[in-house]
Structure 1
C-alpha cells in the first residue's frame, strides 16, 4: 500500500508525547495553544479534508469539528495498524470456483505482524461504507469471510464442514440446519431389579394428598391389593386431594409381604447392619429349640413361595441373609422363559457347596469379561499369525544347525531340568512346579471374586428347585455367632404367601422452599422408606404421573448388594406374550415392564425425572 497523507510512520519520542499532553491540557482548560506548539514532526498544522486525525477511528472533515481544539492523533499509531496485511478474502468467481486473495506483503517485519494480529478485528469493525468502497478490493463480489489463520482457507471442504467459519452473508438458507425435532416421549423407564431402601420424590405441585388416609381408604387399598384389583385413573387430576381413588391406589402400592416379622427388629437390610441388632432382645440366640422352630416355619414359607412362583401366581421374591441376597423370578420375567435365580455376593465356599449338590450355575459377568477378552485375543492372534507368516517368508531357505529347530530350546531345557528325576525313577511321584503354580493361580482367581459384583451367580430352570433344597439345608445360611445368630433370612414378596405378614412402606410428605435464582419456589417432597420392591417403584411412579401432571423427579437409594441383579444373564430368550402372567397379582403395566430384558447391566437407577409426561433417568 502507498503511504497516505496525515500518517507518520516514525515512532514518537517521549518529549513529543509530553508536549502533546500539555497541549491537550491547555485545550481542555480553554487556553488557545500557540501556532508553534501545534506543529509536530510528521504532521502539518492544517489537516486536509477526510483525513483520519487519529487511528483507529472513523474519518471526519476537519471543518466540521468545533469546540475546544481538534482531537489529537494517536502517537503510537502506525499505518500498519489501520490495514491488516493478514486480511484474506474468499471470492466466488463467475465460474463457481473459489479464489483466495491474500493482501499480505512479503517484506513486512515481525514487529508489524504482531501489531496487525492485535488490531485487525477492532479496525475491521470500525470501517464505514465509504472506506470499504475506497479500499474496494471486493465490493462487487461475494465475500465469505476472512481470518488471521491461513490454514483455514487451504481447502474448500473445511469451510463446507464448519459453518461456524462462515459469515452471515455466506450461510445460505439451504446450509442452515432445520429446527431441532422434539425428542421422542419415553413413557417408561427400564426395569430395575435392585431393592431400594429409600425414595425421595420432589414436585412443584403439592403431595400432601399422600398423607393421613381415611380408615375407609386404607382398608379399601388393602382389600384391592389382596384381590389384585386395580383402579384406572385419568391422564391428569385437577385436585388430587379430593380424589379417593388416587389415595386408595397409593395405599395399595405401599403393601408388601414379609417373613419372619419381628416388630422390634428391622429385618431389612441384613448385610453389614449388625448395629441395628445391638441392644435388641434376641431370645433365640441361646435357645436351640427356638431356633429350630423358627427355621421350620421359615422352610415352609420358602417352599410356599417357590410353589407360587412355579405356578406363576407370584412374580418374584427375595431371600435376604446376613451373607448374600437371592432373587427368584418367574418364567417370562427378565427376558427369560424359565425360572431364574440370582445370588449376590457369593464366596468360593458357597460356589463349591453348590457344585457338590449338583447345582449347575454360571457367572454372567465373568463370562462376559472372558468373551470380551477372547475377542481381543482373537484379533491379536490374527495379527501375530500375519507377522509370523511374513517372518517365515523372510526366513525361508535359512539352514539351522543340526538339532536346532529355532524355537524348541525352552522345551528341551524343561525336559532336561527333570532328567535327574527320571534317572532316579521318581518322576511320576513328583509334580512339576508349573502345574502347582497354575493350580494356585486358578484358586487365587476364584477367591478374588468373593464379595464382589462379579461373583453374582445365575441358576436357571430345574436347578432352581435344587437350589431351594440347598438353601433349606444349608447350615451357613444362618449366622452361628454375632447379633444375627439363629435368625432366619428375610423373605420379601409382592403377594401373600404362607406364614407371611402384611407390611406397608412408610410415606411422609413435606413442603419446603427452594431457592431458584433470586426467588424462592415452593417444592413438595414425598419420602418413602422400607424394602421397596421393583413393582412398588413402578406403581408409585405411575400414580404420580396424573397427580403431579407429568412433572416430578425422584432420587433412588439402592441396597448395594442387589444392584448387580440387573445383569442380563438368560441364555433362553423369551418372546413377548409367550408366558401368561395375568394371575401373578401385579398391575398389567408393571408386568409388561418387568418382562423386558434388563438394560442396566450391573448398575441400578439413581435418578428418575419426568418432564411433560416423558421419562429421563440416570444409573
Structure 2
C-alpha cells in the first residue's frame, strides 16, 4: 500500500533498523572521555532526528553546503529565517512562476506586488451573482444555448417534483431581487429565459424616475398574455414607426391640399368622403366585382390579425422591445412567476428555470467571477518589437463591470488602452431611450438613494444617464490621454 503513495521514499526502513542505525551513528560520534564520579552526566546534544518522509514534496529540505566564496548567513540568523511569505515571493521569482492574481494583473502596472489595491479592485470588478448555480451547465446566454446544454446531465427533465422544487427556489430568489430593487439596494438585474430576456432597473437608472422593465425579443402571444393580465406596456419602436408614418401622411396630405383643394373637403362640404380600408376591412372590391357571395370573408380573428400586421411583423426582432413601467412591473413579476411558457417543456433546456444575474448579492444567489486571461505578444513598431499585453474577459459582463474595468484600466495603463466588445445581441436593444427623462434635481435625489446599493458613485452616475445608442451597442472602446471614445 505504501508503494502507491506518491513521493514514497525507497530508502524508508523499518523502525527497528532505523533505531539501530541511529545508535551506531551516535556511538561513533561520541568523544572517548570519562565523567568524574559523583557528577551529573553532561547534557549531550542529541543528533538531529531523521525524518523517514524527508523525500516527500512537503518536507523541508536540508540547506545546501555553502560553496567557497559564497557569502555566509548573517550573524545571529539562519538561512531559513526569512518570513514565510517573503520566501514564497522570492521562490516564485526564482522559478518565474506567477499566481492567479498576478496572472490577472499583467495588464496592470509592471510591479503587481506594489499595486495590491488595483489587483483587489480588478478582482472585485469580475464579481457577479447567479441563480441557479449548476457548475456543469453554462447558464448564460440562454437564447440559442440548446447545443451547449445538449448532452449534459439534467436530472430534472423527467422529474416533475424536482422541477417544482427548482421553480419554487427560483421564485423566492426572483422576489428577493425585486424587493431589493424596490428598496434601491439593487440597481438592476436580468432574467434570462430560453426565449427572451428581461432587464429590471431601479428608479433613477436610464433617466427614469420609476422602476422599469424592458423585454426583448417578444412575440404577439406573449404580449397578448400580458394584456390579459392587465399589464400596461409600450412598444417604443412600433409607436415611433407609426408616428413617423402619420407625420409623413399628414405632410403629403398638406401638399396635396395645397395643389388640389378638393382633396381636403369633408362630407359636410357636399362631397362624399373616400372610403378607407379600415371601414370595410379592404374587401369592398369584392362587391364591385360582384363576387362577394362566392368568396368567404375572413373571421374577426383574422381581421384583428391583419390590423396588427405591423406588430406581428416585429416578432423575434429588436423592434419587438416591450417596456413596462411603475407598478406594472410588480404585476409583471407575478406574471413571470406563473407563466408556464417561461420554462421550456421540451429540448435540452426543459424544466430549467431562467437565469438570474445581478451585480449584488440576493437570496439564493451564488457569487461567480468572470474568467480573465492575460496574454503577451510581440508587435513590430517601426524597426523594433514591442511587448503587447492582452486581457481577455469571458462571461456575462454586466454594465457596472464594464464601467469599473474601464476606469481601472484607464488608471493602470496611464490613460491609454483599447478594447473590443462582443455584445449578446438580444440585449443590445436595451440601450433604447425610454422617453421619460426626469429633471436634474430628481436625478440627483434618486442617485443619492442608489448609493446604498454598493456600486461606485461614478458607475451609478453613468448608469443613470439617458441611453442614446438605440438598437446598437458599443463594439470598440479606445482610451487616449485619459479620454474615452467608442464606436457602435
In the superposition, the TM-score normalised over structure 1's length comes to 0.56
Residue 461 (structure 1) aligns with: 326
What per-residue deviation string (whole Å, max 9, x for no partner) do you get for residues 241-274 of structure 1? 5211111111111111000000001101100111
Matches within 5 A, 1:482-501: 482-501=347-366
Cα offset for 1:559? Answer: 0.4
For 1:409 and 1:308, how far apart are their aligned partners in 2?
55
Residue 106 (structure 1) aligns with: none
Cα offset for 1:372? Answer: 2.1
Matches within 5 A, 1:32-431: 212-213=100-101, 239-389=111-261, 417=287
Residue 479 (structure 2) aligns with: 610
Aligned residues of 1:237 and 1:546 also touching (Cα < 8 A): no
* 1:577 corresponds to which of 444, 451, 465: 444
Pairwise CA RMSD? 3.4
Q: 1:437 to 1:585 in 2, by over 3 A?
A: same
**Partner SS state of residue 380, structure 1:** helix
Q: 1:380 to 1:578 in 2, by over 3 A?
A: farther
What per-residue deviation string (whole Å, max 9, x for no partner) do you get for residues 548-588 of structure 1? 00000000000010000000114353533031211011011
What per-residue deviation string (whole Å, max 9, x for no partner) do you get for residues 151-180 of structure 1? xxxxxxxxxxxxxxxxxxxxxxxxxxxxxx
Aligned residues of 1:551 and 1:612 also touching (Cα < 8 A): yes
For 1:407 and 1:344, how far apart are their aligned partners in 2?
42
**Partner SS state of residue 207, structure 2:** coil
* 1:506 corresponds to which of 371, 374, 392: 371
Residue 593 (structure 1) aligns with: 462
**Partner SS state of residue 387, structure 2:** strand
Aligned residues of 1:260 and 1:500 also touching (Cα < 8 A): yes
For 2:123 and 2:302, how far apart are their aligned partners in 1?
60
For 1:409 and 1:373, how far apart are their aligned partners in 2?
20
What per-residue deviation string (whole Å, max 9, x for no partner) do you get for residues 498-527 of structure 1? 000000111111001123455433210000
Q: 1:386 to 1:587 in 2, by over 3 A?
A: same
Aligned residues of 2:184 and 2:450 also touching (Cα < 8 A): yes
For 2:435 and 2:204, how far apart are their aligned partners in 1?
11
For 1:373 and 1:285, how far apart are their aligned partners in 2?
48
Q: 1:409 to 1:558 in 2, by over 3 A?
A: closer
Q: 1:438 to 1:589 in 2, by over 3 A?
A: same
Residue 105 (structure 1) aligns with: none
Cα offset for 1:316? Answer: 0.1
Residue 16 (structure 2) aligns with: none
Aligned residues of 2:437 and 2:466 also touching (Cα < 8 A): no
Q: 1:433 to 1:326 in 2, by over 3 A?
A: closer
For 2:286 and 2:297, how far apart are their aligned partners in 1?
13
Residue 447 (structure 1) aligns with: 312
Cα offset for 1:239? Answer: 4.4
Aligned residues of 1:337 and 1:573 also touching (Cα < 8 A): yes
For 2:372 and 2:284, how far apart are their aligned partners in 1?
71
Aligned residues of 1:509 and 1:525 also touching (Cα < 8 A): yes
What per-residue deviation string (whole Å, max 9, x for no partner) do you get for residues 361-398 of structure 1? 000111122222222222212111111228999xxxxx
Cα offset for 1:442? Answer: 2.1
Q: 1:210 to 1:605 in 2, by over 3 A?
A: farther
Q: 1:391 to 1:309 in 2, by over 3 A?
A: closer
What per-residue deviation string (whole Å, max 9, x for no partner) do you get for residues 8-34 of structure 1? xxxxxxxxxxxxxxxxxxxxxxxxxxx
In the superposition, the TM-score normalised over structure 2's length comes to 0.71
What per-residue deviation string (whole Å, max 9, x for no partner) do you get for residues 273-312 of structure 1? 1111111100000000000000000000000000000000
Structure 2, gaps ≥5 residues long:
1-95
For 1:265 and 1:392, how far apart are their aligned partners in 2?
64
For 2:365 and 2:264, how far apart are their aligned partners in 1?
73
Cα offset for 1:600? Answer: 0.6
Q: 1:211 to 1:376 in 2, by over 3 A?
A: farther
For 1:305 and 1:334, how far apart are their aligned partners in 2?
19
Larger-Rg structure: 1
For 1:405 and 1:582, how far apart are their aligned partners in 2?
65
For 1:489 and 1:266, how far apart are their aligned partners in 2?
12
Q: 1:405 to 1:348 in 2, by over 3 A?
A: closer
Residue 478 (structure 1) aligns with: 343
Q: 1:388 to 1:296 in 2, by over 3 A?
A: same
Cα offset for 1:440? Answer: 4.4
